[in-house]
Amino acid sequence: MRANTWAGRNKVEVREVPDPKILNKRDAIVRITSTAICGSDLHLVDGYVPTMQDGDIMGHEFMGEVIEVGSGVPADRLRVGDRVVVPFPIACGACAACAAEMYSCCENTNPNAGIAEKMFGHPVAGIFGYSHLTGGFAGGQAQYARVPFADVGPLKIESDLTDEQVLFLSDILPTGYMGAEMCDIQPSDVVAVWGAGPVGQFAMDSARVLGAAKVIAIDKEPYRLRMAEQAGHIPVNFDEVDVRSRLLELTGGRGPDKCIDAVGMEATHGSAHIAAYDRIKQAVRSETERPHALRQAIMSCRSGGVVSVIGVYGGFLDKFPAGAWMNRSLTLRTGQCHVQRYMKPLLQRIERGELDPTRIITHTLPLDEAERGFDIFKNKQDNCEKVVLKP
Amino acid sequence: MELTATTTVRRSPPEVYGYWRDLENLPTFMAHLEQVRGTGDRTSHWVAGAPFGKDVEWDAEIVEEVPGERIAWRSTGNADVPNAGTVRFLPAPDGVSTEVHVALTYDIPGGTIGKAVAKYFGEEPHQQLDDDLRRFKQVLETGEVVRSDGAPWGKRARKEFPQRPAQPLSDDELAKGADA
């Protein structure tokens, strides 16, 4: 089959690789009809997430048709011919984390748990196409994929919704939603979202659906801010205005009640000096993160507010504003999305028309043009927000 | 050399104990064991293969046994690598799970085998035992050893790093099985 593979730092390559086969009895094989490039794929391509190997198949957002199931998958759960969206964390459904619906912390699905434990203290779930640190699972930017624990993760789509309407249930829609849900939004809340990329856009839409009074989008790309504005959110361009001043102005001096960091480790900053400092530290590997958005969210949030972190961090950061966090009674909440927990309720919201995931798709390309897709997405060419690939 | 490791399995103490007490199950999750064969009610024969390149064998006997709570064993006779171990099964505070505490002692001898064993354990002994317990937990909780494309031979600790690329195995690799 054809698959998009990691071919070294800043290089992906579509190659011919073997077709996947059933390895475990609870596996299914899915013929992929749509897959996407995620912002967190860029951390792999940029080389910030360790343990990638030449030839690793990329991609953790995908959906398609089941063409084979292992003997351990009950027929009432999944059959050949079912149309499914596959969640990015691989979860066993049986451990204590899964029992608590914390699927991205599954204790069993990372065969390389020993490596992850060194990096994170405790291991996390296996993730499709996301380094050997998270299991060494082949990803979904391919014609076919093996899906372990297929009786637990995949969501069957039984209505006639298009791929584009449901594909993002695999990751970015639940991720954005969880970012808003962790904020415990009240009707009077002003919610500020750092990052107007795909996850940020969905966090904003979710904050509105959950009842926020006002939603603010912080980014520097005019086209992304326009996209947020068209969806009814208030744009703030950090290249043009001082974010703190603007946020105080928009909130009567209080600061946003709830702040969502939808940026993560490769943030850019309006101040050239701070940006340069962190970039250099990151380049010489003396810090793994550029936590501008997180710092600014903590400093800006009103006293007693919630800072919700869904941007991806990989290692260690410095200059964490612990004083602001502690002295002003802030709550910090975070997590890789527990996708399985949100898929069904969010599918219902899509069916009811409360959320329109298709609004962020700017590019649809054949799988064979994955390399070009990564290039335009990474470099924000051609007003690129989200790339969908068709195998 | 003494090693200890622990894990929590979301199954009751009798279930977890029962799986371990059937010693022939041990190679399912213990990476370096090729085979454990029961030779009597409390005696067994053990064969460890990888990564020595040559098998190491010994007889063992269970020296203490409290059903649902504790098993202790030690090698007998002229073992290549004299060893002993205890595993304790304690109810976890959640009322559902079992804490598994393992303690092993190895007496590493001289000679060629001694060197091989020392080198093997010198690399990452705790990692080996931790990974064994992770697979034990996987088997009891999910019914199988989890295998990824990059680490398709879940049972083989020596295959964990460096790994093959995370892409499906070729027919040749599949046919070779765990030795690929």
Q: What is the pLDDT of residue B175?
A: 83
Evaluate whether residue B136 is within a structural domain. Answer: yes
pLDDT digit string, tens, across residues A210-239: 999 999 999 999 999 999 999 999 999 999
pLDDT digit string, tens, across residues A280-293: 877 776 666 788 89
Whether residues A261 and A277 share a domain: the answer is: yes
Binning pLDDT at 50, 70 and 90, where does residue A200 land? very high
Q: How far is A334 from A321, CA to CA, in rounded Å?
A: 16
Select from A23, A26, A92 the Cβ nearest to the Cβ of B152: A23
Sole residue written with tokens 């709830």: A258
Whether residues A137 and A266 share a domain: the answer is: no
**B contacts of A72 (beta carbons < 8 Å):** 143-144
Binning pLDDT at 50, 70 and 90, where does residue B155 land? low
| Amino acid identity, position B8 | T
Binning pLDDT at 50, 70 and 90, where does residue B107 land? confident
- Interface contact flag, B166 A132, Cβ < 8 Å: yes
Q: What is the pLDDT of residue B121?
A: 60
Rg (CA), chain B: 17
Mean pLDDT of B93-121: 82
Mean pLDDT of A35-56: 92
**A contacts of B172 (beta carbons < 8 Å):** none
Mean pLDDT of B145-173: 79
- Interface contact flag, A19 B168, Cβ < 8 Å: yes
Select from B130, B161, B166 the Cβ nearest to the Cβ of A56: B166
Name every residue in B having a CB less than 8 A away from some CB of A. Answer: 8, 10, 94, 97, 127, 130-131, 134, 137-138, 141-144, 146-152, 154, 160-171, 174
Q: How far is A14 from A10, CA to CA, in rounded Å?
A: 14
**A contacts of B163 (beta carbons < 8 Å):** 53, 112, 132, 136
pLDDT digit string, tens, across residues B7-58: 999 999 999 999 999 999 998 898 878 899 999 999 999 988 755 567 788 9
Whether residues A34 and A133 share a domain: the answer is: yes
**B contacts of A54 (beta carbons < 8 Å):** 165
Q: Who's near A378: CB < 8 A, 6+ residues apart?
A: A42, A45
Select from A5, A114, A137 the Cβ nearest to the Cβ of B127: A114
Q: What is the pLDDT of residue A318?
A: 80
Select from A26, A111, A149 the Cβ nearest to the Cβ of B151: A111
- Interface contact flag, B142 A26, Cβ < 8 Å: yes
Whether residues A185 and A314 share a domain: the answer is: yes
Supply the DSSP string of A225-263, one letter for each residue. Answer: HHHHHHTTPEEEETTTS-HHHHHHHHTTTS--SEEEE--
Mean pLDDT of A323-343: 97
Q: What is the pLDDT of residue B159?
A: 52
Counting the structural domains of chain A, the total is 2
| Amino acid identity, position A331 | T
Whether residues A81 and A99 share a domain: the answer is: yes
To the nearest whole angstrom, how far is the Cα of B179 from the nearest Cα of chain A?
A: 15
- Interface contact flag, A136 B161, Cβ < 8 Å: no
To the nearest whole angstrom, how far is the Cα of A151 from the nearest Cα of chain B?
A: 11
Q: What is the CATH number of the domain that holds A330?
A: 3.40.50.720
Quote the pTM value: 0.93
What does the block give as tokens for A71?
A: 């003997």
Whether residues A104 and A226 share a domain: the answer is: no
Residue A382 above 90 pLDDT? yes
Which burial class, exposed, middle or buried, applies to A252 when counting CB atoms under 10 A from its CB (0-12, 13-18, 19+)? exposed
Evaluate whether residue B154 is within a structural domain. Answer: no
Range of the domain at A344: 2-171+337-389
Range of the domain at B38: 2-144
Evaluate whether residue B51 is within a structural domain. Answer: yes
Is the Cβ–Cβ distance between A309 and A294 less than 8 Å? yes
Counting the structural domains of chain B, the total is 1
Whether residues A253 and A303 share a domain: the answer is: yes
Whether residues A364 and A310 share a domain: the answer is: no
Q: What is the CATH number of the domain that holds B122?
A: 3.30.530.20
Binning pLDDT at 50, 70 and 90, where does residue B173 land? confident
Q: How far is B94 from A236, CA to CA, in rounded Å?
A: 47
Is the Cβ–Cβ distance between A83 and A63 less than 8 Å? yes
Whether residues A149 and A192 share a domain: the answer is: no
To the nearest whole angstrom, how far is the Cα of A376 from the nearest Cα of chain B?
A: 25
Residue B180 above 70 pLDDT? no
